[in-house]
Amino acid sequence: MRLPERLFWWLVPLVGLVVVLFTSYQAITSRRYEYANGITGELLPGHSVGQTLVSRYANLSGIEVLIGTYRLGDGPARASLVLHLKEADSGSDIATVTLPAGTNLAQNPWYLFSFPTVANSQDHAFYVEIESPDGAPDRALTLFSWTPNPQGDPYPDGTAYLDGKPEPGDLSFGLRYAPSPLDAAAQMGRSMTANLPAWMILLLFACAAVCIAALFFLLAILRDPERRQRWLRRWSLPFVLGIALLNGLLYLFLVPPWQGPDEHTHFAYVVLLDRYDLDRDRLESLYFDSKIEDEALVQSVTDSMARYNFTRYLSGHPAPGTPPDVRPTIYQSLGKPPAYYWLGVVALRAARALGIAADPYTNPEGVLLLLRGVSLMLGLIAVALAWLFARIVSAKGSSWLVLLLPLTIALLPMHTFDMTIANNDVMAEVAVSAMVVVLAALLRWPTGWRAIALAALAVLLAFGSLLTKQTAAASLPLLALGLLIWVGLLANRALQRRAEGQVSDRRWWMRVSVPAALLGLVALLALISVVLAYEPQNRAAGWVTDRWPLQRMPQSETPTAHDGRFVLALGPKGKSLPPTTAFQVLLLPTFHPAMTITVGAWVRTAPEAGAPLVQDPKAALWIEGGSAPVVHSEQLLDQTNDWHPISATVQAEQGMQQIVLRINSDNQRAEFDDFSLNVDVGEAEWHDPVFQPVLINPSAESGSWGLRPELERRLPSSLVAVAEILPNPQPFDKVALWSGYANGQHKSFWGDFGWLSIPLPDALYTLLAVIIVIAAIGLLVRAFRRRGRWNWTDWLGLISLLALVATIAATYSWQMMGLATRSLTADLAGRYLFVLIVPIMWLILAGLSAIWALFRGDGAEDQGGETATRLPWGAWLYAIALTTFAAYCFLTLILPYYYA
């Protein structure tokens, strides 16, 4: 290697190291306490707000506050702010900093008051006082704060002050320091000893450093093609497993207990399964009958969470600092498939047999670490399966892919986080990844008894994976498409043998005709099946009489409707037909302004109702939702069958999640028609792309689509609900909703750690999206350049891509069903796609490899990204970028969040 190349070779990792060290130092030496649920009021002369605090580091150099500007958009500050920094027990100023009036400020910004460093600030208590000597009514600034509602304390080391008197709660503030890098690292290490002994922290970080250095060293010496291939065949697997183990141990020990999503529910499942001696049927029956009572378990988990500041780490918790209330959720995993939890019980009993203190009631943190260890072992199996997959799809089993693919699985930060918490995701990933490996082997060796055995094993693994988690259902489209392509390839091989020498290069389509024809035929049959499965129904779209199971309101045709041809006909209480009540749900976003909602309608006695059943028959219009009182309006009915107006108004407070519009008729058959909705948000702005308070089908003129009865009777009610919600209008924008699902899943696939509390910077999400687009373009380029020369790996890539699309569509449809029928607004986690992480990352690597080959102007392409005659720049750059990303997430985002 020439000197310029050698210098650039080592410049790449040096740049990555500098970036990580710089961003980590910045993250360690600054911390915001961002909780806010109100403001302190206008800051006027003679008044002040304050905050006591404790400095974590030496060299305190700045205080940030969250300022309220009382206006929209950017503009000059309406008044000045003066910050006084004092010793907590002294009245003299250490530093005084002014924000001058007229300074340009964004809307409600964070503002940093910088001052000369306070050298001896570590572990010292300070008092910050802020005043505005020139503030005036309607020309003042304010500060955001957090007030207990009714409990909570986001910052336990201090409290807020108003005019020199302590107040419950805290200001929204941040601290900046300027310690030396060694002092900052030492303080971080001291903080981490709460969850890990100091000697183990040093050992793990030393091993990680050695492993990273070995990665650089090995990649440098493997520029020789022969040595590279020999090493990749013999040592790539143990090397990657070593990296995965060390990286996983760092996460396992240093992510505080219970910070993995739903860890407490998976923990409880294992404990109860152990308690009931692996009798899952009994446990499920008790769960569904709400007869599980284990107060000691609830108290043990609650106390442990409180010890480890669970509610302060959980972004957006309504009462940070308070003991968590796990009672409503601790048993919610008990209905899930059992495989992971059986394995957890085996590990628990094995630990007890070895004399390890594994009592979940007295040592819940120890048992949780044991379960995390089970997840880590499963994660190592997933890494090994990725290596095996790469060996199979590589031409000679020795391309860079056998290192880069498992290394990606081992170092991808969000995946590492997921495989080191108590969660059944990793069990599902192992099951589906094993099936993917078997499927790849089947397509590579498609004939003989070995192929038949592989096909049978793929079927067994696909259906066995359903015992791990619902997301493992992704194996079903993979299996169906894989077997279909296998049959197509066998048929195509037979046809080619019969036409030996008759297929010219120009007729390349004949080489892929059978698999492509089979895929097209299946797609056509699926489309025809979907079209024939539906039929129009005489049901009013949007109006239901029951949300689960879903029952839609019948349409009633009449020539005297108030608007159009149809009305909503209701019957008296005690009569089976027509229904006595109908309703529609107006879903609202999590964040919206307070609003006034008024609903109007027209009502009359049904013409065929006859004489009143009781005196003074009436019909009612109800509006209910959240904590707001139920509002209703009643209309007396008469025998003239004339239409009468009726209306009701409700005040929807900020944050209310849904409004239910309900109509009913208790004493007389009544008909409702021509509804109207008026929403008044005052001067507030509200532009939510998904949810808007709109009425669906206000005059019942639009009918709904549903499955044919003979099909509906044979499907589970949940699948029927999904099928009926897709073609019918809903109280949300479906395209915008799916776009939101995709955005959230993209972010949490790459990095949104903890309980979605530690996201990546937006710029990184954008960069990762660009990389995905580049990889997709690379796949298209590869498919075009290889037209007529497709082999089994190309078909495997197509299978993986189609299975991914099918999985995403099914997941989004299922989630939308929960929103429409049960108002479940939970976000879709990226970890749900980790069951397909091996084919996903393989497709990304293949696409980037194709672009790299195009960039080099070299048609010779290896699935790892390099030819044997070139220096492995592509593999080197990718490995350094991956390692830098992993180190950035751990050292800049995760550790500072929990320990800075």
Across residues 328-334, what is the average pLDDT? 87
Predicted confidence band at 867 (pLDDT cuts at 50, 70, 90)?
Answer: very low
Percent of the chain predicted with pLDDT > 70: 91
Tokens (6 digits) for 191: 């903080």
More confident residue, 8 or 480: 480
Contact criterion met (CB below 8 Å) for 432 and 387: no
User: Are 550 and 821 in contact, with CB atoms under 8 Å apart?
Assistant: yes
Q: What is the average per-residue pLDDT within 248-264?
A: 92
Dihedral angle sign, alpha carbons of residues 163, 164, 170, 171: positive
Q: What is the pLDDT of residue 434?
A: 96
Band the pLDDT of 396: cuts 50, 70, 90: low
DSSP string for 48-77: EEEEEEE-SSSSEEEEEEEEE-SSSSSEE-
Strands 566-570 and 93-99, by their bridges, are unpaired
Least confident interval from 113-122, 374-383, 487-496, 864-873: 864-873
The pLDDT of residue 413: 95
Question: 46 burial class (0-12, 13-18, 19+ CB within 10 angstroms)?
Answer: exposed
Mean pLDDT of the chain: 86
Which pLDDT band, with edges at 50, 70 and 90, does 170 fall under?
Answer: very high
Q: How far apart are CA 403 and CA 238, in angstroms?
A: 10
pLDDT tens digits, 109-121 = 999 999 999 988 8
- Sequence-distant (6+) residues with CB within 8 A of 813 are 722, 725, 726
Condensed to tens digits (0 to 9), the pLDDT of residues 171-196 reads 999 999 998 888 888 888 788 877 77
Per-residue pLDDT of 287-314, as tens digits, reads: 777 778 888 999 999 999 999 989 989 8
Window from 160-169, 453-462, 651-660, 854-863 with minimum mean pLDDT: 854-863
C-alpha pair distances (Å), 539 with each of 664, 724, 753: 17, 12, 45
Higher local confidence (pLDDT), 507 or 403:
403
**Within 10 A of 448 (CB to CB), how many other CB atoms are there?**
9
Model confidence at 318, in pLDDT bands (50, 70, 90)? confident
Q: What is the mean pLDDT of residues 631-658?
A: 82
Torsion of CA 502, 508, 509, 513, to 10 degrees: 60
| Rounded average pLDDT over 616-638 | 79
Q: Is the pLDDT of residue 218 over 70?
A: no
Residue 95 and residue 91: Cα distance in Å, rounded? 12
Quote the pLDDT of residue 132: 93
Grouping H, G, I as helix, E, B as strand and the rest as coil, residue 864 is coil
Residue 766 has pLDDT above 80, yes or no: yes
Q: Who wins on pLDDT, 91 or 406?
A: 406
Residue 838 has a pLDDT of 96
The pLDDT value recorded for residue 857 is 66
Between 474 and 641, residue with greater pLDDT: 474
Does residue 638 surpass a pLDDT of 70? yes
Question: pLDDT at residue 203 above 80?
Answer: no
Do 437 and 462 form a contact (C-beta atoms < 8 A)? no
Residues facing residue 585 across a β-bridge: 660
Residue 37 burial by CB count (10 A; 0-12/13-18/19+): exposed, middle or buried?
middle
Q: What is the pLDDT of residue 505?
A: 47
Distance CA 530, CA 188 (A): 58
Contact 147, 169 (CB under 8 A): yes
DSSP 629: E
Q: Is the pLDDT of residue 545 over 70?
A: yes
In this prediction, residue 765 has a pLDDT band, given cuts at 50, 70 and 90, of very high
pLDDT for the residue 858:
56
pLDDT of 813-842, one tens digit each? 999 988 888 777 777 888 999 999 999 999
Per-residue pLDDT at 665 = 85
Q: Whose CA is closest to 177, among 63, 98, 93, 88? A: 63
Long-range CB contact pairs, 785-788, < 8 A, 24+: 785/850, 785/859, 787/508, 788/505, 788/508, 788/509, 788/511, 788/512
Report if pTM > 0.95: no
